[in-house]
């Protein structure tokens, strides 16, 4: 049987209906902002970060969670004694701040939420030390202070051996002109920044696959990657803050950016306005994705509809600035390349990848 | 057997050790704030809200969770069909913003974190509508915008039928003189603000008691309260934002405030500097606490060491302002009264309640 994300138990339709109900009720609370000297920008709802507008700056607020990736760390720890809680702590910070920067805000403060099912979780000092070190390292990489957090024991809510890793960030855009507004134009160039592997999405499917493999997470990835499947999954996510900051410093305007997470490459058409995003420079995905595709088996289409396939972040820029944006990315430590072009085809919204024979029409992505 | 909070499975010692490790690592990230135009105030770590200082304001950041109170709502819902998710959503906002205001910040934005074990949780529209309405209502009461959130499905991490309710807030103090710094002086008056019941603390113990009762949550509270035990537990928490805001408007300086949560009345000595807090005006606690004490049985000492006993928030003010602070509270909708006095006894830190024969020395509270 071929694996798909729906069959792995995550029902995005029910979740998305709830999210829309939340957004509607949340929007109705916006008038209280005036008493604080802020207003809600017309287009902030549904974006990855919530923005509040003042006379000379925007405040940004993100609440985000790691998902189920730490279950992979738990399984690898139990089987091999290798602790990857430093890595999943970095992932936790990454998932928060990579959402925050999509509006052009730089994170000032990141708070940790670590909820356990049993306070005995904290008795393992190797694991807790790794968690603490990784969270601090993630904050430093993001240029943010670790501004406190919460560590409740939730017996009966969280599974006895498990931990929920999540958190929030405060960011700021100043001057206001640095806001990333989504003013993409036909002819814009798409710049891709590499991921380190699956990062934080598609882990439910990855865990289901592990359960089917005779060697589980110990299965060698192959395709030139010496790591085990589990270790490859647990490579910590790339934090893309320095890229956005460097583009701001160099005066390189980012028309839009996408944090490539759930929904894989379909996230590339996250913008409301309809465009066709044509990806012409497709790299062979990192070994862990080739392993997933073969071992699942998972169809090529499902792979790109679910995973980042080696692309963690995308920037949409005016073509004359594209080379400079790639240079800014590389000089701030990222692997980046010119990946494709945005074009207008009337009301059509789609991501097309001709070299792979893949097309995702707009109706395959509902995230608002 | 007499019930106590330790015996109910929450080990504060392991949690507190982890919290201290987090605080140490978090403190070491503070220098990055300078790049954002902020600095970390010397005394903010260990307080209920994290503060960042700019030239003309403080930003405040809080990450908080509801705890296990929604398990009570689940049990009552299953037994009676009465849905209390509006109430626990208000509780969730309350626990976040009541921590935030302890430094004098008013909440601008509150984000929801709702993590489920199975996305089927969202299929019950009665429950999801109540959750959405309650969260919006809590935000409006707090004078904050509902600024987005996160709703992950975490199979294998969260129990299949459960939901983790948590969130974060951004607040601001401007002008900076409105910061509540903890400059308590001997002779200060302690003002109490009433709670609505257990609010969000001691629920693990409350649930354990329910399991011992033949009628469980359906047991009548008695003591003049017509509600069942479950319904009394699920009275939504009081949100104290309007009290702090009204004191600020009237120029009534609050030297310190305490959100009376975990550790019950021991939280009244949360301030580092040693004082003796003498509570002389003790009201009979609301019926639900008398029920808990009798039905447990739970010792009088344990009751005050664990529960708020009818007191959700305490303010420490100069004696000449105490009547005006009580008036500000009452006129903004709270039940408030003069409760006691702060005095100096050398290095002694303690909460003493002579009329009840209770004394909690400083070593009974370690929360930093």
pLDDT at A10: 56
pLDDT confidence band for A44 (50 / 70 / 90): confident
For residue A1, is pLDDT > 50? no
pLDDT value of position A6: 52
pLDDT band for position B20 (cuts 50, 70, 90): confident
**Closest-CA distance of chain B to residue A176, Å:** 15
Of the residues B145, B208, B261, the best mutation for testing chain A's interface (the one with the most A CB atoms within 10 Å of its CB) is: B145
The CATH fold assigned to B38-178 is: 60s Ribosomal Protein L30; Chain: A; (3.30.1330)
pLDDT computed for residue B43 by the predictor = 82
pLDDT for the residue numbered B1: 41
CB contact under 8 A, B40 and A162: no
CB–CB contacts below 8 A, A to B: 279
Whether A297 has a pLDDT exceeding 50, the answer reads: yes
**How far is Cα of residue B240 from the mean position of the Cα atoms in its chain?**
10
From the CA of A124, how many Å to the nearest CA of chain B? 10
Judge whether B195 and B312 are in contact, CB under 8 Å: yes
Q: Which of A145, A149, A164 sits opposite B115 (nearest CB)?
A: A164
What is the mean pLDDT of the segment spanning B325-346?
98
Residue where the block lists tokens 């074009």: A343
pLDDT for position A45? 83
Q: Let me know if A212 is exposed, middle or buried by CB neighbors in 10 A (0-12, 13-18, 19+).
A: exposed
Question: B189-364: what fold?
Answer: Phosphoribosyl-aminoimidazole Synthetase; Chain A, domain 2 (3.90.650)
Answer left, alpha or beta for residue A264, where phi above 0 means left and psi between -120 and 50 means alpha.
Answer: left
Cis peptide before A175 (omega within 30 of 0): yes
Interface test with A, best of B26, B28, B38, B116 (most A CBs within 10 A): B26
pLDDT at A9: 53
Which tokens is B335 given?
Answer: 């039940």
Domains A38-178 and A189-364 share a fold: no
Query: What pLDDT is recorded for position A2?
Result: 53
Q: Is the pLDDT of residue B11 over 80?
A: no
pLDDT at B2: 53
Q: What is the pLDDT of chain B when averaged over all its residues?
A: 94
Share of chain A above pLDDT 90, in %: 89
On average, the pLDDT of chain A sits at 94
Please give the structure tokens belonging to residue A291: 């392993």
> Could you write out the three-class secondary structure of A126-139?
HHHHHHHHHHHHHH
Alpha carbon B114 to chain centroid, angstroms: 19
**Where residue A47 falls among pLDDT bands split at 50, 70, 90?**
confident
Please report, rounded to a whole number, the percentage of residues in chain B having pLDDT higher than 90.
Answer: 89
| CA–CA min distance B359, chain A (Å) | 27
Distance CA A201, CA A68 (A): 9
Per-residue tokens: B39 = 């600095």
Q: What is the mean pLDDT of residues B251-280?
A: 95
Q: Yes or no: say if A318 and A191 are a contact pair by the CB < 8 Å rule.
A: no
pLDDT above 50 for A85? yes
Phi, psi of A160 (to 5 degrees): -55, -35
Q: Which of A36, A155, A164 sits opposite B172 (nearest CB)?
A: A36
Residues in a beta bridge with B172: B59, B106
Parallel, antiparallel, or unpaired: how do β-strands A276-279 and A311-317 relate? unpaired
What pLDDT shows up at residue B283? 97
Which phi and psi angles does B112 have, rounded to 5°? -100, 140
* Tens digit of each residue's pLDDT (9 = 90 or more) over A249-285: 999 999 999 999 889 999 999 999 999 999 999 999 9
- The predicted structure's pLDDT at residue A12: 64
A69/B157 Cα distance (integer angstroms): 10
CB contact under 8 A, B111 and A63: yes
Q: Which residues pair with A259 in a beta bridge?
A: A313
pLDDT greater than 90 at residue B7: no
- The complex's ipTM works out to 0.93
> Quick check: A204 pLDDT over 50?
yes
- Confidence tier at B17 by pLDDT (50, 70, 90): confident
Q: Give the distance from residue A159's alpha carbon to the nearest chain B alpha carbon, in angstroms.
A: 5
Instruction: Please state the rounded mean pLDDT for residues B164-187.
Output: 97
Using the predicted structure, report yes or no on whether residue B4 has a pLDDT greater than 70. no
Tell me how far the alpha carbon of residue B96 is from its chain's centroid.
8
Structural tokens at position A98:
């990579």
Task: Determine the pLDDT at residue B3.
Answer: 56
Beta strands at B145-150 and B106-116: parallel, antiparallel or unpaired: parallel
β-pair partners for B134: none
Contact criterion met (CB below 8 Å) for B335 and B261: no
Rounded CA separation B110/B112 (Å): 7
Whether B346 and B198 have beta carbons less than 8 Å apart is answered as no
Taking alpha carbons only, the member of B36, B242, B236 closest to residue A248 is B36
| Average pLDDT over every residue of A331-360 | 97
What is the nearest CA distance from A105 to chain B, expressed in angstroms? 11
Class of residue A295 by CB neighbours under 10 A (exposed 0-12, middle 13-18, buried 19+): middle
Set of chain A residues whose Cβ sits within 8 Å of the Cβ of B120: 11, 14
The full set of domain ranges for chain A reads 38-178, 189-364
Query: Which residue of B lies nearest to A70 if distances are taken between CA atoms?
Result: B157
Each residue's pLDDT tens digit, A117-153 = 999 999 999 999 999 999 999 999 999 999 999 999 9
pLDDT at residue B357 above 70?
A: yes
A40–B111 C-beta distance less than 8 A = no
Of A50, A67, A123, the CB nearest to B154: A67
pLDDT confidence of residue B13: 73
């Amino acid at each position: 049987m071929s694996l798909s994300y729906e069959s792995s138990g995550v029902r995005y339709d029910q979740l998305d209906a709830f999210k829309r109900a939340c957004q509607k009720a949340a929007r109705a609370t916006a008038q209280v902002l005036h008493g604080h000297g802020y207003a809600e920008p017309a287009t902030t709802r549904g974006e990855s970060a919530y923005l509040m507008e003042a006379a000379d700056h925007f405040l940004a607020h993100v609440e985000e969670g790691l998902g189920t990736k730490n279950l992979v760390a738990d399984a690898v720890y139990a089987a091999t004694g290798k602790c990857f809680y430093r890595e999943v702590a970095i992932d936790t910070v990454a998932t928060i701040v990579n959402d925050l920067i999509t509006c052009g805000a730089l994170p000032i403060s990141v708070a940790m939420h670590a909820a356990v099912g049993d306070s005995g979780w904290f008795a393992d000092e190797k694991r807790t030390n790794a968690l603490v070190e990784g969270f601090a390292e993630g904050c430093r990489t993001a240029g943010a202070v670790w501004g406190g957090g919460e560590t409740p024991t939730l017996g009966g809510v969280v599974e006895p051996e498990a931990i929920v890793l999540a958190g929030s960030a405060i960011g700021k855009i100043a001057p206001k002109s640095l806001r990333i507004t989504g003013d993409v134009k036909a002819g814009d160039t798409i710049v891709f920044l590499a991921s380190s592997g699956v990062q934080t999405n598609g882990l439910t499917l990855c865990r289901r696959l592990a359960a089917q493999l005779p060697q589980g997470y110990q299965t060698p990835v192959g395709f030139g990657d010496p790591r085990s499947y589990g270790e490859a999954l647990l490579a910590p996510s790339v934090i893309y803050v320095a890229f956005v900051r460097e583009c701001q410093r160099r005066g390189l305007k980012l028309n839009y950016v996408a944090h490539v997470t759930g929904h894989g490459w379909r996230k590339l058409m996250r913008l409301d306005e309809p465009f066709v995003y044509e990806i012409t420079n497709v790299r062979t995905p990192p070994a862990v994705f080739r392993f997933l595709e073969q071992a699942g088996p998972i169809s090529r289409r499902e792979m790109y509809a679910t995973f980042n396939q080696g692309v963690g972040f995308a920037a949409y820029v005016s073509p004359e600035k594209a080379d400079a944006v790639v240079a800014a990315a590389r000089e701030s430590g990222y692997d980046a390349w010119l990946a494709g072009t945005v074009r207008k085809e009337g009301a059509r919204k789609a991501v097309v990848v001709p070299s792979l024979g893949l097309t995702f029409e707009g109706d395959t992505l509902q995230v608002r």
